[in-house]
Structures are given as structure tokens and as C-alpha cells.
Amino acid sequence: MTGLRAQSAPLPPGARVVDAVVFHTLLEMEIAKAQRLRYCLAVLCLAGQFPPDADDPVDSLAGLAARRIRSTDVVLDRGPAGVVLLLIDADVGALPAILHRVIADFRAASWSAGASAYPKNASNSDELLAQAASMLSEAERDGGQQLFLQR
């Protein structure tokens, strides 16, 4: 051997896909940081009838979403039916454009989305998640194919 080490393949650019515990922990930490540094963040819930997960997790809905948002953001995988996005320093006005970038390959699919923002709509992580989920439910009840934002 000549001293060369095997290198693993680089991760694709974009956000990280995490489990529910890590997502909630990161959300708590980001809210605390946002309070100190005075920036906003948003939680966006996306659900619908998307193609089933591929064998490769990078090709799943969560993997696709992660590649289409910034590396500072985080994705919670909800299986083939949806994802939850933690969008750091994302203004409410930017959410429709972010959503349309994430669903670019699924525009023909049936989907709904709901979002809430800190500090505009909520003061803690539980409120933020509950409001985003509530907005998702309202969007679904209203026929889907739209994003509802907590006002």
C-alpha cells in the first residue's frame, strides 16, 4: 500500500435529512439562536400523493427536498407521503418559491402544504409545528394544490 486512504463519496449538496428527535432538537436550538440574533425561521409541512420512495434514499421525496433547499436547512422525512422542512433565516414571503422548487418534479401530483414562521406566528417550537400542521390540514380540506401560511 502506498499510504493512500480510500475516500468516501462526497454527500450531495443541500440540506440534511434527520429523524424526529434531531429535528425537534435543532428546531429548539435555532429558535434560541434566532431570539439572540434576531432572524426568522419557518417550518413548512408538505404532504401528498408522491411516488413511493426509491431504493436509494437520495431519490426519496426527503432526499429530493434536501437537494433543493440550502445546506443550512433541515428535512424531516415523513415517508413517501410528506416531509417537514426547517428553513433557517427564511422570510414568509420566500416560502412559495421554496415550495415550488421542492415540488418541481411533482406538480402533477396531489399535494398540500402548510407553514408557520418564528417570530411572526409562534414563540416556541411546539406552537410552530402545531401551526404548520394546522395550516397543512386546512390546505388539504380546501382541496390541496396550495400552500397555507399562518397569519
Domains of the chain (ranges plus CATH)? 16-149 (3.30.70.270)
CA distance 45 to 86: 9
Lowest mean pLDDT among 46-55, 70-79, 123-132: 46-55
Half-sphere exposure of 78 (CA within 13 A, CB side): 14
What does the pLDDT read at residue 151?
80
Residue-wise pLDDT tens digits, 4-22: 444 444 445 689 999 999 9
11 in helix, strand or coil? coil
100, three cell numbers: 415550488
- For the chain, the maximum distance between any two Cα atoms, rounded to a whole number of angstroms, is 64
Of the candidates 145, 20, 37, which has an alpha carbon nearest to the alpha carbon of residue 86?
20
The three-point CA angle 142-64-76 to 5° equals: 70
**What is the model's pTM?**
0.86
| The pLDDT value given to residue 9 | 42
